[in-house]
Amino acid sequence: MAILVFENNAILADDIQKNLIAEGYQVLLIRVPNEFPEEEELWQEIELIILDLMMGDSDLPDDWRQETENGLITGYIVYKHMVPNKDIPVLVLTGLKDNLEDKKLLDQVQEGIKTCSLLEKPIKYDQFLQMIRKLLRR
C-alpha cells in the first residue's frame, strides 16, 4: 500500500517524502498533473492522497484552466480529473487562511471529496503524521 503525494513545491515534496518513508510508508510523489498514474492496478495500491491545494495552473491542460477561471482551486481540479477512485481519503495541504472567500473555497473542496481532512501550511510534522494515521486508521 502507498501514499500518493501531489505537491509541486520540490523542497516541501522531498521533505514530505523523506518523512513518510522514515515512518515506513511507500510514497508515490507527483509534481505535475501529467505524472498521475493511469494504470488501474497502481490505483488499487493507493490508500491515501496528500493533495497540495494551491498551485499554478501552467501545468494544467488548457480545457482545465477554464475551471480555475470559474473559481475552482487548481489542486482540486487535478483531483477531480485524475483520481479514478474517489473513496481514497485525502489530506489537503493548504496555505489558505480563514477569511470568508478562502473559507468558501475550502468548503467547496471538502464537499467534493468524500473523506477529506485539511492541514494548513507550514506543516508541523507531528500533527501531519497524526492526521495520516487517523485517515489510515492506524
Longest dimension (CA), the chain: 41
What interhelical angle do 74-82 and 100-112 show, nearest 10?
A: 10
**CATH code for position 125:** 3.40.50.2300
Lookup: cell for 67:
475551471
For residue range 71-118, list pLDDT tens digits in order.
567 778 788 888 888 899 999 888 766 555 566 667 767 777 888 888
How close are the terminal C-alpha atoms of the chain, in Å? 13
Please give the Cα distance from 63 to 125 (Å, whole number): 36
For residue range 19-42, list pLDDT tens digits in order.
999 999 999 998 877 777 777 788
pLDDT at 46 over 80: yes
Tell me the residue range of the domain where 56 lies: 2-136
DSSP bridge pairs for 63: none
Q: Which of 120, 130, 70 is nearest to 96 (CA)?
A: 120
Number of domains in the chain: 1
Average pLDDT of 6-18? Answer: 91
Residue 38's CB: how many other CB atoms inside 10 A? 8
For residue 113, the SS3 value is coil
pLDDT at 127 over 80: yes
pLDDT at 10 over 80: yes
